[in-house]
Amino acid sequence: MSASASDKEIVLSLISHTNVGKTALARTLLRRDVGEVADSAHVTIVPESYPLIEEGGYSAKLWDTPGFGSNLAKLAGRLRASQNPVGWILHQVWDRSLNRSLWCSQEAIRNMQADADVVIYLVDASQSPSTIGYVDLEIEIIEWIGKPVLVFLNQTGEPNRERDRQNESEWRAHLAKNTIVKHVSTLDAFTRCWTQEHQILAQAGTVVSGQKQKTATYLTGAWISRNLGIFDEAVDAIAELVSFALCDTEPLPQRGLFEKVKELVQRNERNRTYERIQGRMYERLSKKTAVTVNRLITLNGLSGETAARLARSSCEALAVKRDVEESVMAVLGGVGSGLLGGLCADLATGGFSLGGGAIVGMIVGGATTYALARGYNLTQTGQNMVRWSEAQFLDQVKSILMLYLAVSHFGRGRGAWRDPVNNPARWKELVDTAMAAESADWHALWKKGGIASDPGSLAKGKIRTLVRHLLETVFRELYPDSASIFKRR
Ligand SMILES: Nc1nc2c(ncn2[C@@H]2O[C@H](COP(=O)(O)OP(=O)(O)OP(=O)(O)O)[C@@H](O)[C@H]2O)c(=O)[nH]1
Ligand SMILES: [Mg+2]
């Protein structure tokens, strides 16, 4: 390869102690299932390289390498005493199966020395650096090789910026003596957000020189553009669902005077009518939500599907609820668990709950048709039809936004998609705040909904703008270091 051709390529080598998560992170970044991931030592035993991004004649390559073994620590004294420790270790002949640990360490060192422009040293953030014996020796060896090192914290657990900051400063302090370490940041293979990924290339650009620096800068831009393109498609999918919820309606049954009076007296009968209307609307919403979530999963390079499905049996449980007017809350449990079925039940424990007041806000009848149940917030379309109330609609918007945040943090290295059990409370806080800040726009949008509106044009216009703006606000708050990516267009 000519000098100029090699200058147009940045080579990153993923290096770590074994079992820290190199292959998992490679899968997350590459959006495909490369290599083997397993919870045991020396799963990867042969270095493999993958194209990370190729664009405009520039490219970045990612090496996944075998992890350092614990035997390396045992060799520490000998290595330190040696005039040429790297030379020594590289010239040893170890048997691949008998001395797998040493073989793997040797392969990692060989890869760094021969191929890497930049070493991505991955560490296990669930442990304090001072308690992990092997880190100092591994960094020392990398230092002997002399390639610049970016340290990334993996295995952090659920996203939490405060905790990440603390972990980073602890690791930074621990590694302060190692001048080869240029940056310490977080990029968890399981829970990173796509908004953080380009930092690998951006930081690489700060530690290489000359034309390679230009290459890294170009590729950082390309990475961001690619992810923003996916983000735009995700926003479109969300906007379509939101417009569906906004414009969905159900006709109210026509009633003669006799039936109206009868229903006034027979609350159970009236409730059954409400349930049927709610059930149909929830069923449609649930199906459409599942389609949208699956689209978001695919767009974000993940495998698998949402398992959330409507559970019909719990819809029926609602029919036995008593005393709706006097005890709206009593009925809400049935509505909350029943009407969104599996989806709602899954989400209810995961911070997506539509329960409580949200359900109170649901549309269940029409003032001209029924004597209304006290506590329900009813909305008519003016044509003997009902649609979702504003409060309920806004909660539906929040739910899909929370689902999107879950998808955008789910790293492919974690395996196939799983519906969230818990989401960080911070996400909900930020979504609530961002929606409250734009409440006038959301209110105006809701007023536009109903039978007269055109869902397609609403989704392409106002809804898309509102959704994108809201998500950008949330991402800026969650990841201030990446906030500038949203200013680029
Ligand atoms: N919780 C959590 N677990 C992770 C993360 N990344 C990897 N793991 C788990 O850690 C174990 C090791 O992951 P691998 O990707 O195989 O680790 P590796 O560094 O490639 O290991 P070797 O190839 O043996 O050196 C697997 O059980 C992964 O599921 C992470 O970000 N968070
Ligand atoms: Mg591996």
Identify the CATH class of 7-192: alpha beta
Q: What pLDDT, on the 0 to 100 scale, is given for residue 318? A: 26
- Helices in 175-311 by DSSP H: which ranges? 194-197, 199-207, 211-247, 257-265, 267-299
- CA-nearest residue, atom 14 of ligand 1: 21
Task: Determine whether the shortest distance from the Cβ of 278 to ligand 1 is under 6 A.
Answer: no
The greatest distance separating any two alpha carbons of the chain, rounded to the nearest whole angstrom, comes to 101
End-to-end CA distance of the chain: 36
Task: Determine whether the shortest distance from the Cβ of 222 to ligand 1 is under 6 A.
Answer: no
Distance in Å, CA 18 to ligand 2 centroid: 7
Distance in Å, CA 103 to ligand 2 centroid: 14
Q: What pLDDT, on the 0 to 100 scale, is given for residue 451? A: 59
Model confidence at 256: pLDDT above 50: yes
Q: Which long-range contacts (CB under 8 A, 24 or more apart) does 272-278 make?
A: 272/319, 273/365, 273/370, 274/364, 274/365, 274/373, 275/315, 275/318, 275/319, 277/250, 277/252, 277/363, 277/364, 277/365, 277/386, 278/335, 278/339, 278/362, 278/364
Give Rg (Cα) of the chain: 28
Return the structure tokens found at 40: 């045991």
More confident residue, 488 or 7: 7
Q: How many C-alpha atoms does 133 have within 13 Å on its Cβ side?
A: 8
Nearest atom in ligand 1 to the alpha carbon of residue 41 is 24
Task: Determine whether the shortest distance from the Cβ of 154 to ligand 1 is under 6 A.
Answer: yes
Of 138-147, 278-287, 375-384, highest mean pLDDT: 138-147
The rounded mean pLDDT for the chain is 81
Task: Determine whether the shortest distance from the Cβ of 22 to ligand 1 is under 6 A.
Answer: yes
Task: Determine whether the shortest distance from the Cβ of 215 to ligand 1 is under 6 A.
Answer: no
Task: Determine whether the shortest distance from the Cβ of 155 to ligand 1 is under 6 A.
Answer: yes
For the stretch 357-373, pLDDT in tens is 223 223 222 222 222 22
- CB crowding 115-141: b at 16 or more within 10 Å, else e: bbbbbbbbbbbeeebeeeebbbbbbeb
Task: Determine whether the shortest distance from the Cβ of 18 to ligand 1 is under 6 A.
Answer: yes
Q: What average pLDDT does range 439-452 have in this prediction?
A: 84
CB 462 within 8 A of CB 415: no
Looking at 91-95, 415-419, 449-453, which range is the least confident one?
A: 449-453
- CA-nearest residue, atom 7 of ligand 1: 21
Task: Determine whether the shortest distance from the Cβ of 23 to ligand 1 is under 6 A.
Answer: yes
Q: What pLDDT, on the 0 to 100 scale, is given for residue 327? A: 29
Domain ranges of the chain: 7-192, 231-487
- Mutation test residue for ligand 1: of 22, 192, 418, the one with most atoms within 8 Å of CB: 22
Nearest atom in ligand 1 to the alpha carbon of residue 189 is 31
Distance in Å, CA 345 to ligand 1 centroid: 30
Distance in Å, CA 36 to ligand 1 centroid: 10
Q: What average pLDDT does range 243-251 have in this prediction?
A: 86
For the stretch 323-359, pLDDT in tens is 222 223 333 333 333 333 222 222 223 222 333 222 3
Q: What average pLDDT does range 274-285 have in this prediction?
A: 79
- Mutation test residue for ligand 1: of 45, 155, 197, 412, the one with most atoms within 8 Å of CB: 155
For the stretch 41-80, pLDDT in tens is 999 999 999 999 999 999 999 999 999 998 888 888 888 8
Which residues pair with residue 123 across a beta bridge? Answer: 153
Q: Provide φ and ψ at 406, rounded to 5°.
A: -60, -45
Q: What is the pTM of this model?
A: 0.85
Q: What pLDDT, on the 0 to 100 scale, is given for residue 364? A: 29
